Chain A
Amino acid sequence: MAKKKVLAAEGADIQEAVVIEKPESRFKAMWDTLKKNKAALFGLFVIIILVIIAIIGPYITPYNPNKQIMNDAFQGPSANHWFGTDNLGRDIFSRIIVGTRVSLFVGVAAVAFSLLIGTVLGSIAGYFGGKIDAVIMRIMDIMLSIPSILLAITLMAALGKGIDKAIIAIGVVSIPEYARIIRSSILSTKENDYVAAAKVLGNSDGRIIFHHIIPNVVSSIVVRATLGISTAILDTAALGFLGLGVQPPTAEWGDMLGRVRSMVLVHPYMLIFPGLAITLAVLAFNLFGDGLRDALDPKSRS
C-alpha cells in the first residue's frame, strides 16, 4: 500500500508540474498534437479501458477467478466461459479481468518506484557533480551491465514470491535508466540563468532541484515513464511465466501463460487469451508513449 501512495504523490507532482508550472499553452499544444496521432489516441483509449477494468474488474467477473470447478476443466471458449477454462476448471475470462489489476498495478508501481529513486539519485549526481556523481553513476553503470531480467529473477529468488516483491525487483532494475535521463537533463538545465538567480536568492539545493530544475525536465521523464510501464508489464509477465511472480492462486497474465505452456499444441486457447491481454496492454502503453514523445518534442511538432 505504501507504494501506491508514492505513486499517487508522484503522479500528482507530475500533474502539478505540467498544469501549473508550465504555461497553459504548452499543455494545450501537446494535446493538440497528440489528438492528431490516431495510434496514440488508440493507446490512450485502451489504457483508459484497462484502468477501468483494473478498478472495477473484481466486481464484474462472471465467475470467482480462483474457484476450481474440476468437472469443467479444459473447456474451450463457449457462451458460458467466453475464453474457456484452464486445467483446474477456472474461468479464464475472469482470471484475465482480475489479472489486469495485477499487471497494471505492478507496472505503474514499479515505474513509480524506479522513477522516485532514479530521480533522487540522478538529481544528486547531476547537480553536485564531482565525486558524488562518479560514485552514483558508476553504480548505475554496474547495474546496467547486468541483463535486467536476470537481475530481476535473482532479486525475486532472493525476496520470494509476491506482488510487492515483484514491484521492487522490476523497479530496481530500471533505476539506472531514470537516473541517467534525469542527470543529463539536470546537467544542461543547471547552467541556466534562472538557476543561478535562485541560488543568489538563497534557495536551498533541495528547493532548487525540485522546484526549479525538475519541472523543466519533466517532459523527458513522462515519456520514459509511459514507455517504462509497458516494459514493466512485460517483465511482470516474464517473471510470472518463470513461476516467480505471484503467490498462487492469484491470477497474473504471465503466470497463466507459463503454467499451461506444455499444452500449447493441445489447448491453444489457454495461451492465446492471456497472451493477447499482455500484447494489448504493452502495445497501448507503447503507442501512447510514442505519441507523447512526439507531442512533447518541439522539433517533431507541426
Chain B
Amino acid sequence: MKKKVFSALLASVMAVSCLAACGGNDVSTTGASSAKDTLVYAQGADPRGLDPQIVDDGESAKVTNQIYEGLLTYAEDSTEVKPCLAESWEISDDGLEYTFKLRQGVKFHDGTDFNAEAVKFNVERNTINKTEDMTYADFVWGYVSKSEVVDDYTIKITLKQPSTPFLANLAMVFGAPMVSPKAAKDGDLMNNPVGTGPYKFVEWKKDQDVKLVANDDYWDTENKAKIKNVVIRTIKDASTKIIDLQSGDVDIIDGIDTNQMENLKKDSNITVSQTPGMNINYMAYNIERLDKETRIALSQAINVDELVKTLYQGYAEKATTVLPTFVPGYSADVKQISYDKDAAKATLEKKGIKNLHVITYTNPRPYNTATGQTLTEAIQGYLSEVGVKCTIDSYDWTTYKDRTIAGDYDICFYGWSGDNGDPDNFMNLMSDTNAGMNVARFNLAKNKDDKAAYEEYSKMISDAAKEPSGDSRNKMYADMEQYVADRAIWLPISHQQDLTACKSNVKNFTYHCTATVKLYKVTKD
C-alpha cells in the first residue's frame, strides 16, 4: 500500500513538472509570434555559432545569412552569381587576377565602414591568419595567393592557379561573407555577429532562439527588411515543429518529414512548398574491397526507380546521375547500370559473393528524409533476392562519420548537399583523398584496374577545375559522370526535394537550393 501511495505521488510530481515545463515554453512563445512585426522561423537544431567564417552547419547559416553578406550573392532561384557588396568585377586573361569594384556607403552594424581594407582583412583572416576551426576557409579562399588594396573601393585578389568555381564560392554562406574587422579583432563573432546585412543581431538564447532586428541603415534601400523582428527558433522534435506551426506559434518551418506532408497539405492555413534540392543521396561501394564486376552486379540487383517511388513518395526524384538536373554539367545522357536481377544473380553466384557488411546512419538527412536505416533495409531486401545476405550496422550520425573513416564496410550510405552550384563540388567527392569525403575509398583502390581508373579520374577532375565555364567544361563533367557510372563507384539513388511550410499569411518566402533562406523579403498579412 505504502508503495502504491509513493508511486502515485511520484507520478503526480512528474506530471506536474512536465506541465510546468510545457507551460513555461508556451508563455515565452505565443506573445512573440502573434504580432505582425515578428516572424518566427523554426529549425531542427541550434546554430553551432554565428561566425560565418568558422561554422559549417546549415542551422548556423540560416541565422548568419540574415546578418552577413559576401562580395557576391546567388540569384533567388539558382546559383548564378550576382553583385552584392562588390558592384562589378574583372578577371585577367590568365584567370589569376580578380579585381572587384566595391559598393560605396556600406556600413557594418557596428558603424565601421565597409571598404577595400575590410575585404583585405577578411581575405587574410581566411588565408594567412586562418585558424584550424575555419572549415570552409580553404574551400573558398584556398587558391588565393594575395590581396591588394588598389584604392578605397577597389581590391585585387590574385590566385595561385586558375579556379573556375572561385566566383561561385564567393557567394557561399560559409567562408565568404564579410565580417566587421573591428568586431573580429576585439569581439566574439561566434556569439556577437557583426555584418552588413538586412538584419542585425539582438540576442541568442542557447538551445532556444536567436533574435534579430531590421537594419534601418541597410545600403540597399529598396530591399530593406519588411518585417521588423525575426526570431529563429530551435525546435528539435519534428512533430512538435509541425504542431507549433499549426497552432500559430511559429510562422515558417523547414526540414519536414515526408510522412507529414499529406497532412500539412490538407491544412488550409498552411502553405507547403517543395523545391528541387541541390543534393545527391547515394550508396557507395568500398572500392578497396569490391571489384568492378561485383559492383556492377550489385547495382544491377537494385531497382532504383521502384525504390525511390516507394521510399520518398514523390518527394524525391530518381537520380540518373550524380549531379542534380539544374547544376551545370548535368547530362541527361548518362547511362547508369540498368536493373537486371538475373544477370546480377549469375555474376554474384559466379564470384561467390554471399555476405556483405553494410553500415548506415539511423537518422533522416536533408538528402534522405526516409532515414539511412530504412533505405538500407530496402537495399538489403533487393540484395537478398539475388542471394546476398547483408549484415547491417547502424549508427547515429556523429558516430557514423567516424565509422566511414575507419573503412570497415563493403557498402555504405551517404549523401551530399551542394554548396555553390559548381559541378566540381559534387564530382570531386570521388577524387578527394580525405576518407571522410571519399566514402567509396576510390583513392585507396587496391587492384590494378581501379587504381588506374582513379588516376585517370583525378586528372579529369583537376583539368576541369581549371577550365573556364562553358560548354566545353560542362562536357568534361558529363564525361566524368559517365566514367564513374560505368565503373559503379556509387549507386546514385535520389535527389531529395527541400520541404518547407509556412502559415498562409506569410508571403514571399523562398527556400534557396543551397539549403539557405533570406528573410528580408518576407511579409505577413
- Residues of A near any B CB (own CB < 8 A): 66-68, 70-71, 73-74, 87-89, 160-161, 243, 247-249, 259, 262-263, 265-267
Contacts and interface: CB of A to CB of B under 8 A. Distances in A.
A116 B173 CA distance: 62
Given A248-B377, A249-B384, A266 B262 contact: yes
9 contacts: A87-B310, A88-B378, A248-B380, A249-B381, A262-B257, A262-B260, A265-B259, A265-B263, A266-B259
Contacts of B392: 247-248
B253 to A, nearest CB: 15
Interface residues of B, number: 29
Contact of B306 (A71, A74, A259, A265): A71
A88 B309 contact: no
A293 B251 CA distance: 57
B294 to A, nearest CB: 22
A259 B373 contact: yes
Contacts of A161: 393
Given A70-B303, A265-B239, 6 more contacts: A67-B381, A88-B377, A88-B381, A243-B373, A249-B377, A262-B259
B466 to A, nearest CB: 44
B381 A263 contact: no
Interface in B409-455: none
A157 B307 CA distance: 30
B117 to A, nearest CB: 52
Given A71-B306, A71-B310, A249 B380 contact: yes
Q: DSSP majority for the A interface?
A: loop
Contacts of B313: 74
B391 A88 contact: no
Interface centre among B262, B373, B381 (most CB of A within 10 A): B381
Interface of B: 238-239, 257, 259-260, 262-263, 303, 306-307, 309-311, 313, 362, 370, 373-374, 376-378, 380-382, 384, 391-394
B374 A70 contact: no
A70 to B, nearest CB: 4
A68 B381 contact: yes
B362 A243 contact: yes
Contacts of A89: 310
B306 A66 contact: no
B373 A68 contact: no
Contacts of A267: 259
Contacts of A74: 310, 313
A68 B378 contact: yes
Contacts of B378: 68, 70, 88
Contacts of A160: 393
A247 B311 CA distance: 20
Contact of B310 (A67, A88, A259): A88
Nearest to B364: A262
Contacts of B381: 66-68, 88, 249
Nearest to A71: B306
A66 B384 contact: yes
Given A66-B381, A66-B384, A266-B260, A87 B374 contact: yes
